[in-house]
Structure 1
Amino acid sequence: MRAPRSRIAFGLAALLLMAAGARAQSLIELYESARAHDATWQAAQAQHEATLARAEQARAGLLPQVGLQAGISRTEADIRTDAGTGPRNFNTQQIGVQATQPIYRPANLATYEQGKRQHEIARAQLALAEQDLIVRVSQAYFDVLAAQDTLRLVQAQKAAVGEQLAAAKRNFELGNATVTDTREAEARHDIVVAQEIAAANELQVRRLALDQLVGRSGTAPLPLAEPVVLPAPAQGDIAGWVAQAEASHPALAQARLALDVAGLEIDKARAGHKPAIDATLGYSVVNNPQGVIDSAMRTRIHAAQVGVQLTMPLFAGFAIENRVKETIALEDQARAQLADARRSVTQATQAAFLGLQAGAGQVRALEAAEASSQSALDANRMGYQVGVRINIDVLNAQSQLYQTKRDLAVARYNLLMGQLRLRQAAGTLTAEDLRPVNAALAAVAQSSR
């Protein structure tokens, strides 16, 4: 049993030395690294650029269309007249420029208006992607810190259980305790060793996840400064946060714009019944060096045309009517999706606000519980020394204390994440919101003093 445990202890020591030797990074530093590396964020940026380009395409339907046409042809004819029969072969060369300017095309105008909405939708989508990146980086950052705290506290608990095991053995040898105390301490020690192995593995997994997200190897997040001073909780009441979410959440803005786009799609469909009017302008040159079919005289024609063209649809096999029905149904769908998005945002904001309030209360309760658990452990140790408590009482008190410490550490990280998640739920989260959280980290706090 001793050899495997020694190897495990050596591996854990090496892990801690590696973590201590690495240069620690702040939350903002790792967030900036993630912006340059994360594939999900880069894909969102590429989608944003593609959407902007697609939106600009809609402008083309209102601008002039200019085309160049050129060609050469060979004509071989066999001409038969009363005077006889003879061949007539000649070449024709032509080149021309044709320009068309839409004057009245309601479908093109609706497409242009849709393009402007698509531009705004792209901005909303990018804002949502940025908020998601902030939360993902922060969560991965605090997951590593929580795993580090768990491993550190498990190792501290193992050391305390080891001391209690040694005390039980001494008391047994002196005849002041039974062998049961020793067996209980050994069992608890073995349990803590197993927990230590699991905690070390969890820390490695969390580190790998953070490394992958930020594109670095051997990341070492800065811990919270001691004494721990968390940022002040978000101000306001739940109704105010919900109102803010309904007014500015990018998901709601996107849904509203999608409803506008659906309404404009109806206008495009109805435009199928309307005429289209275009102004045309052209210039062409036709050269016949061997003449034309009825004359061998060389000709060269320069022609310019200007005019107005009207196109009026009369019957399209009921395609336009059914297209209108389709777009009206799609508008109803977009309206329902907007209502669903509004309810989802409201619920998420309320849940985030209540979770933040509960998290703050949990931190305060666990801070009190930590002090109470420490007092209970001290009392049980004193009672064990004077013989009014047994060994299992001390072991249980130790376990309670270290479990409370772990719960408190996790609750603090959850509270910090709750601040960010509330702003994400309200749609107002930006990179600037990381600064108060970053200020609670150790190195930042030290540099400010």
Structure 2
Amino acid sequence: MLAMRSPLFKSRLLSGWVQAALLASPSVQALDLLQTWEQARAYDPQMQVVAATRSSVQAYEAQAQALWRPVLMGSATVGAMSADTRTTGAQFAVGGQPSMPGSFATSASAATSTRWSLQAKQPLYNPERQAQQAQLNSAAGVAELRADLAQQQFMLLTAQRYFNLLLAERQQHVLKNQYLAVSRSLTEAQDRFALGDVPVTDTHEASARAAGLQAQLLAADNDVQMARRVLIDSTRLSADVLQPKPLKAQVTVSALPSLEQVLTQVQQANTGVLLKKVQSDVARQELKKHAQNGGVTLDLVASAGRDRLSGDGDFGASSNKQSQQMVGLSLNVPLYTGGWRSAKLQEAAGAASQAQAEVDMALQQSQQQARTVWLALQTGPARLSAMQAAWNASTARLDATRLGRQVGDRTTLELLQAQNDAAQAELSWLRAQTEVLMARLQLDALTGNLSVQSLETLNTQLLP
């Protein structure tokens, strides 16, 4: 019992050490992606569902092994019983004398009846049971694959939650800086308007932009609180500990295999496709259960039993004992089932065709997703470089517009627009960075390679 629980116990113990270290060390204020995953894996209810799904694998395997083991059944009864037996036309022979016709009768009222029996049966030939065993083994594979698929999806979800919080905090920071800049522009416009240097429309434009940014800041604050709350519920960490590490200035992804290799890996190792294939195997085994020879069985059987009846009757005290033992073979052949077997066979054939079509559809969808993600990763570095260049250009334009506004060559509206463009360019660049990193995880999931090592690789893209 302890050995079965040790992996989960070790996982919780390790996560407890991680949490204790984070809480005890005041210098540790940021949590990386791998630590977040370890905490979520130990405490999130979704992983408990995964563990419960995985625990059913052994049950299915045990059922499959038990199908061909001998079955021993015992029964015993005791009760009050009355019996009356009359036989005529019987023949009796005593001591080698010629048999003579006669009759006899027995009677018992309010008698005590006891009965016990033992029956043993060992299946020798049973096509339906063979198919059932194959289905149970496949069911174990289905449970394992479902657990793997759920764990992969939860790993992706945890990473997405982590980046959502990181991006929400960064968006909040950018909007705060933009709001401060717009507030300074508003103060400057009001002062210059008081001096008669600018029209009143400048103050109206700056005031409207400040009010709009204030509304965006409130929405950004809500996004941060919700993103942090989701991770707190999943990891059970406190808010002061749950601070994501920022990304490096330059995000890079590992070298990509060729598209042909990716599509081959999807076909061979994609968890969703493998799950559909195993489910298709279960449907094909259902066909064998209802085939023409599926109901034929041959069993080795053995039985032993004893019946006893004792009491008083019409002829005085009576007692009857009967014992029987048997060892042999039992052959069962269904001759007519009223059309039930043929109808079940037709149903199983339709289910098998549907299961195979679902395999083809899952493979097609997975390969399409892999192609989309691969192309996004292929163009990811160039896209990030272009977006960073756009951010740098918008920052330079903001500096030039700010200088032009000071000397009177640019209007307040142009300055406000330049500030907005620079902030949006920075946020777009940051969002693109997280999208590239998530795309790399998605490609690992589609090719069946998503693991803790994938998160460790992404951790290298975070600041220490």
Q: Normalised by the size of structure 1, how large is the TM-score? A: 0.85
Partner Cα separation in structure 1 for residue 295 and residue 148 of structure 2:
39
Check whether the contact 1:25–1:220 (CA below 8 A) recurs between aligned residues. yes
What CA deviation, in whole Å up to 9, does each residue of 1:393-448 have, x standing for no partner? 22211111111111111111111111111212223212221112123333xx2xxx
**3-state SS of the aligned residue for 1:24?**
coil
Match of 1:328 among 338, 341, 349: 349
Partner of 2:47: 41
Partner of 1:6: none
Check whether the contact 2:75–2:116 (CA below 8 A) recurs between aligned residues. yes
**3-state SS of the aligned residue for 2:67?**
helix
Partner Cα separation in structure 1 for residue 403 and residue 250 of structure 2:
33
Partner of 1:346: 367
Distance 1:292 1:441, change over 3 A: farther
Q: CA deviation at 1:274?
A: 4.7
Partner of 1:247: 268
Partner Cα separation in structure 2 for residue 103 and residue 244 of structure 1:
42
RMSD: 2.9
Which segment is superposed worse, 337-346 or 256-265?
Answer: 256-265
Partner Cα separation in structure 2 for residue 271 and residue 48 of structure 1:
36
Instruction: Give the share of equivalent positions with the same residue, in percent.
Output: 27
Partner of 1:356: 377
Partner of 1:222: 244
Q: CA deviation at 1:206?
A: 1.7
Partner of 2:394: 373
Check whether the contact 1:52–1:118 (CA below 8 A) recurs between aligned residues. no
Q: CA deviation at 1:184?
A: 2.3
Partner Cα separation in structure 2 for residue 214 and residue 432 of structure 1:
20
Partner Cα separation in structure 2 for residue 148 and residue 75 of structure 1:
85
Distance 1:300 1:189, change over 3 A: same
Partner of 2:409: 388
What CA deviation, in whole Å up to 9, does each residue of 1:290-339 have, x standing for no partner? 59999957566554321111111111112222222221121111111111
Partner of 1:27: 33
Which segment is superposed worse, 145-154 or 45-54?
Answer: 45-54
Partner Cα separation in structure 2 for residue 343 and residue 359 of structure 1:
24
**3-state SS of the aligned residue for 1:334?**
helix
**3-state SS of the aligned residue for 1:332?**
helix
Partner of 1:53: 59
> How many residues matched?
423
Distance 1:283 1:364, change over 3 A: same
Partner Cα separation in structure 1 for residue 360 and residue 44 of structure 2:
32
Partner Cα separation in structure 2 for residue 160 and residue 196 of structure 1:
14
Partner of 2:118: 97
1:72 lines up with 2:72 in the alignment: no
Partner of 1:63: 69
Partner Cα separation in structure 2 for residue 80 and residue 343 of structure 1:
78
Which segment is superposed worse, 128-137 or 316-325?
Answer: 316-325
1:116 lines up with 2:137 in the alignment: yes
Which segment is superposed worse, 388-397 or 295-304?
Answer: 295-304
Partner Cα separation in structure 2 for residue 365 and residue 281 of structure 1:
82
Q: CA deviation at 1:84?
A: 12
Larger fraction in helix: 1
Structure 1: gaps (5+ residues): 1-19
Structure 2: gaps (5+ residues): 1-25, 88-101
**3-state SS of the aligned residue for 1:388?**
coil
